[in-house]
Structure 1
Amino acid sequence: MIEPYSEKVHGEHDFEVLTSSREGLQRQIDHFGSQQRHDTDGYNIIPLGFCTYRNRSDDGRFTFNINKISDKAIVSKFYPVFRFKNANSTFMTEYLNSSARARKKLSVLAVGTSQVVLSFEALKSAKFDLPCKEEQDKIASLLECLNERVELQRSFVDALKKYKRGLQNRFFFKRSHLSPKASEIDSHDVEPLGSVVHINPKTGSLPEAFIYIDLECVESGVLNSKKLISRNSAPSRAQRLLEEGDLLYQMVRPYQKNNYYFQKGFEYPTVASTGYAQIRCSEMDTQFIYEQLSSDYFAREAMLRSTGTGYPAINADDLAEIPIWVPPLNQQEKIGAALSFLGEKIEVHQKLLSALCSVKSSLLQQLFI
């Protein structure tokens, strides 16, 4: 059923590099966030409609993808390129990716210890019980419609995120870097963060029962309630007793921007890890400050002031020195509300995307028992 394709690229070329990931086949610049520099001599050419997979895995799972991106593309030497004969490519890739039986069989065929390898020859030797081509085509037609809907939703979410980042950069990056002599702003429009908010304000003693927010509890600015530690199980080093309206800024690896706007909603008092800086806004609009702390500009400034290699971190004194834009309060409220509205819209459509992915996953489980 498998027909290999062995054309390679040598020397100078105008092919774009693709990466086969569990999220699909992606342009390498999109997957890594930047252009990667490496020698592409001998890379495999993957024509439009052909399939590939990364033949190395840390957990024994392999993901198969179809090139639907570009008719001039290449992939790593470790990505075999092939197409299916007398079988529907969409059906086959979904089957190999979603069927528990297929995944188990492929993991058995893979060899190695810490990192296992599924060779192309081993893949070709695998045997599966499959429906006829006509039935494959019908199933693939349904899956392609669902995939298209998922990708449209994902593209819309990405566009909303990009639009919000653009607004944040326009508001915060340019203004925070302007000279006080610039005609657009007055000298008091840019201030060190520590001069307009309270960082790690003094709090009372810890109560006997409380909710504990560790660094692992916040993901992309959203609190994962399943990872919360309740009552007396928090480590003794936890010292940040939160009040409603406090902000948490992640001090370790600040580029992750896992900041959290604390709004009271727990039965017990809430304590945060010292891995966060606790920020209290008394005379500033809290939402405005939260949006500024979540911007690319602030993450870059925090990283420039961080120390360490594997887990770079910024201390409270350096955090307090980062310049931020401080417009009048009424302007802060308008900007904070606008960015908050976009954030809520992103959250709504992100949930819809997750729901669509769940529908697809459930359907695949029923199809490929």
Structure 2
Amino acid sequence: MREGWEYKKLGEVCCPKNKIQRAARCFDSSDKILYIDISSIDNTMQKVTDITSVTFGDAPSRAQQKIEYGDIVVSTVRPNLKNIAIIDRYEPNIVASSGFCVLRNTECIERNYLFHYVTSDIFTQHLMKITTGANYPAVRDQDVRDSIIPLPPKSTQLAIVSELDNIKE
């Protein structure tokens, strides 16, 4: 291990799952929501490109997680497809499918460092090793949260993000 680095579970560096509000507690059936499901993600750009506007009462039963600007959604279904994105809208009514593990960074991890890690081939390969089901391969939310991330000091996280962003450009 590099000096000053730690290895932590994602669940230790992200907000606990119980801090992600249940949509049913936030919206009435007549409230308009912006619904994100797995098909909403462009997995080549790692961005949300298709949001459905619908009343909460007419939304699919999987519309269960109220998400916020900056949250990272990681598809738990077919993780090899890398349907992962950072929510880049400030809307107060975005709801994600239960097919996502929602990761909300805390002060100990930079959001973009977390995002680069969960979109990495190393992370995808790890998820593929623990995937269950042949016809509908998936991991559990807890499998994602139990995954280990190398955690350098924040200054190193920022330097890594800067370098990776330069490479992407």
Shift of 1:199: 4.9
Superposition pairs of residues 335-346 of structure 1, within 5 angstroms: 335-343=160-168, 345=169
Kept in 2, the 8 Å contact 1:287–1:340? The answer is no
Residue in structure 1 matched with residue 12 of structure 2 by the alignment: 195
Q: Secondary structure at the match of 1:210?
A: strand
Which has the higher Rg, Structure 1 or Structure 2?
1
Kept in 1, the 8 Å contact 2:40–2:49? The answer is yes
Q: Under a length normalisation based on structure 2, what TM-score does the superposition of the two structures give?
A: 0.84
How far apart in 2 are the matches of 1:218 and 1:327?
A: 29
Identity within the alignment, %: 27
Higher relative contact order (CA 8 A, sep 6+): 2
Q: 1:328-347 CA distances to partner (integer Å, 9 max, x unpaired)?
A: 0111122123323444x2xx
Q: 1:30-57 CA distances to partner (integer Å, 9 max, x unpaired)?
A: xxxxxxxxxxxxxxxxxxxxxxxxxxxx
1:288 and 2:119 are equivalent in the alignment: no
Residue in structure 2 matched with residue 247 of structure 1 by the alignment: 72
1:317 and 2:142 are equivalent in the alignment: yes
Give the number of the structure whose residues are more often helix, by fraction: 1
Q: Under a length normalisation based on structure 1, what TM-score does the superposition of the two structures give?
A: 0.40
Equivalent of residue 257 in structure 1, options 52, 59, 82: 82
Q: 1:70-99 CA distances to partner (integer Å, 9 max, x unpaired)?
A: xxxxxxxxxxxxxxxxxxxxxxxxxxxxxx
Shift of 1:297: 0.3
How far apart in 1 are the matches of 2:6 and 2:36?
A: 34
Instruction: Provide structure 1 residue ranges, at least 5 long, that are not aligned to the other structure.
Output: 1-181, 346-369
Kept in 2, the 8 Å contact 1:199–1:278? The answer is no
Residue in structure 2 matched with residue 238 of structure 1 by the alignment: 63
Kept in 1, the 8 Å contact 2:32–2:93? The answer is yes
Shift of 1:265: 4.7
Superposition pairs of residues 174-193 of structure 1, within 5 angstroms: 182=1, 184-185=2-3, 189-193=6-10
Shift of 1:288: 0.2
Residue in structure 1 matched with residue 94 of structure 2 by the alignment: 270
Superposition pairs of residues 148-163 of structure 1, within 5 angstroms: none
Give the number of the structure whose residues are more often strand, by fraction: 2
Q: 1:87-129 CA distances to partner (integer Å, 9 max, x unpaired)?
A: xxxxxxxxxxxxxxxxxxxxxxxxxxxxxxxxxxxxxxxxxxx
Residue in structure 2 matched with residue 209 of structure 1 by the alignment: 32
Instruction: Provide structure 2 residue ranges, at least 5 long, that are not aligned to the other structure.
Output: none
